[in-house]
Amino acid sequence: MRTTSPLPPEKQWELQQAEEARYRRGDAIASILCFCCLAFVAVPRFNSWADAAIAWAWMGAPGWRLLQLPQGSETPAKRGDKLGAYQVSDPYLPCENPAKSTADCRTWEGYPRAHLGVDVGMPTGAPLYVPSDGRAAKAKITCSQSAGGGITASIALDNSKLSFRALHLSQCLDGTKAAGEVYAYVGSTGYSTGPHLHWEEYRDGKLVEPSFRYLEQTVVGAKKP
């Protein structure tokens, strides 16, 4: 019967030394990585670079390009567009590549950020009306609440690819509503600096640049189809 003989003490010591050196190297690499991560979070200059890198990686994702309004669609809502007594105060800004240009970005807390809807300065309590694409006679209103968006209404038109979201509301009325009916009231809930409507448009569930037509209908009131 064969038994494995133990390594001679000097060999054991050598192995132990090699093992410890490996651990020390691992620790050093981990410390450097940790320091780099902290530097990127703590130093504002690095922080903005990291933001730009993340934004670039994220905006470069193929899905992002779907945010562009498809050709032949409705006229988009622009800054200053009149909606009855109100107007578009903040336009849609996709902020596609902040590392290259921030012309299509909005500055938020010192950093370039996308604004994926349009804002309309409106007083708290102003009613919002169910829009229509000319065919949909009703819409399903789903109310929700989040820290950022505050009280939010999701508006899904009947038998349509179109849906919308209205954020920062003071009140949302859940259920099925007819085109032209009131479904919510403007407010300043969530991350909002004052009463306004933040309006988003979706086609097949994908965010697109909001059209003037439906925004006007929700602010001013839609005709029944």
Query: Interface with Zn ion by CB under 5 A: which residues?
Result: 119, 198
- Structure tokens given for 119: 């804002």
Which residues are CB-contacts of 200 (< 8 A; sequence separation ≥ 6)? 116, 117, 164, 165, 166, 167, 207, 210
Nearer to Zn ion, 46 or 111 (CB): 111
Nearer to Zn ion, 148 or 175 (CB): 148
Nearer to Zn ion, 119 or 209 (CB): 119
Q: How far is the CB of 117 from Zn ion (least distance, A)?
A: 5
CB atoms within 10 A of CB 122: 23
- Structure tokens given for 190: 């969530």
Q: Are 52 and 98 in contact (CB under 8 A)?
A: yes
* Cα distances (angstroms) measured from residue 49 to each of 39, 59, 64, 112: 11, 15, 20, 11
Of all residues in this chain, which one has the CB nearest to Zn ion in the complex?
198
Q: How far is the CB of 55 from Zn ion (least distance, A)?
A: 18
Q: How far is the CB of 138 from Zn ion (least distance, A)?
A: 27
- Structure tokens given for 161: 């690819």
Nearer to Zn ion, 117 or 179 (CB): 117
DSSP string, 57-99: HHHTSGGGGGGSPPTT-PPBP-TT-EETTEEEEE--B----TT
Nearer to Zn ion, 119 or 133 (CB): 119
Q: How far is the CB of 155 from Zn ion (least distance, A)?
A: 16
- Structure tokens given for 154: 């999701």
Nearer to Zn ion, 99 or 116 (CB): 116
Q: How far is the CB of 114 from Zn ion (least distance, A)?
A: 10
Q: How far is the CB of 18 from Zn ion (least distance, A)?
A: 60
